[in-house]
Each structure stands twice: as C-alpha cells, then as structure tokens.
Amino acid sequence: MKSSRTLDRREDEYADQSQVFYSVIDAIQQISNLPLTSFVPYDDEVQKSRTITPAAIEYTVDVSLAVKKVLTETEQQDAYDALVRGEKVKPYLAQKIIRRCGRIFKSRNLSPGSYFRPSIRRGSVESRQRLRRAA
C-alpha cells in the first residue's frame, strides 16, 4: 500500500505537469490564431496588429518535436490533437498524455513564461543595467 506522502507528491507533480501542459497548449493556440502579415497604422490611436514572429515559429517547432518524442503511438498523438482542440478524451489517456508532455515541456523549458523571457547572463551589461534601474 502506498503511503499518503507518495500520493500527495504524485498529485502535486501531476498538478504541476498539468499547469505546464495547458499553458503550452494555450500559447500554441494563440500563436496559431495570429495572422502571417500585419499592417502599420498611420493613426497613433490604432494599435498595431500582432503577427507570427520567428521566435513563435521556433516555439511551435520545439513543442511539436517534444510531443513527437514522447508520444510514439498513433492513438496518443490523436488524443493529444483532440486535447489541443479542446475535445473530450478518455481520462486515463488524457492523464498519460499530460504527464508525459508536461514532464518533457518542463525539462525543455517550454513553458511560455520561461521560453520567451530573454536570458541574461550574470555579470552582463544588461544585468547591471537592470540592477541600476531597480535601485
């Protein structure tokens, strides 16, 4: 019989993996809804439209490569596509996909918050400038 600590730890891990999984799916859906071209308004009151950037394309490629690595069976890939579209999937299969994808998304830093944040080396000019602004 499994101890309650083990069950709590697994539940926490699943909650973390689920959060990462759904944040990645949300980012992919937002990127797929962006237009390929944009217009530049001459009126300052009109906002510029958002377009797909090279970073967004790299992100979708990184996510699809990670998914292909962990989901080897056709049934799992079909269920993943259904989850992305927001359709219902068998609970055991959904949990398996969320665990596998969430784990690899986290290990490859594919969470949108960490992927799109520029990395700044410690001691670099940028980090010193940020410290000066914060003070």
Is the distance from CB of 17 to CB of 106 less than 8 angstroms?
A: yes
115 versus 67: the higher-pLDDT residue is 67
Structure tokens at 94: 């959904």
pLDDT given for residue 70 in this prediction: 95
- Provide mean pLDDT across the span 28-35: 86
pLDDT given for residue 25 in this prediction: 94
The Cα angle at residue 83 between residues 98 and 54, in degrees rounded to 5: 90
The mean pLDDT of the chain is 82
pLDDT given for residue 39 in this prediction: 59
pLDDT given for residue 24 in this prediction: 94
pLDDT given for residue 64 in this prediction: 94
29-33, 53-57, 65-69: range with highest mean pLDDT: 65-69
Q: Dihedral, CA atoms, 16, 18, 20, 26, nearest 10 degrees?
A: -150
Local structure of 53: helix, strand or coil: coil
**Res. 122: pLDDT tops 90:** no
The per-residue pLDDT for range 83-109, each reduced to its tens digit, is 998 899 999 999 999 999 999 999 999
The per-residue pLDDT for range 44-59, each reduced to its tens digit, is 665 556 778 888 889 9
pLDDT given for residue 26 in this prediction: 94
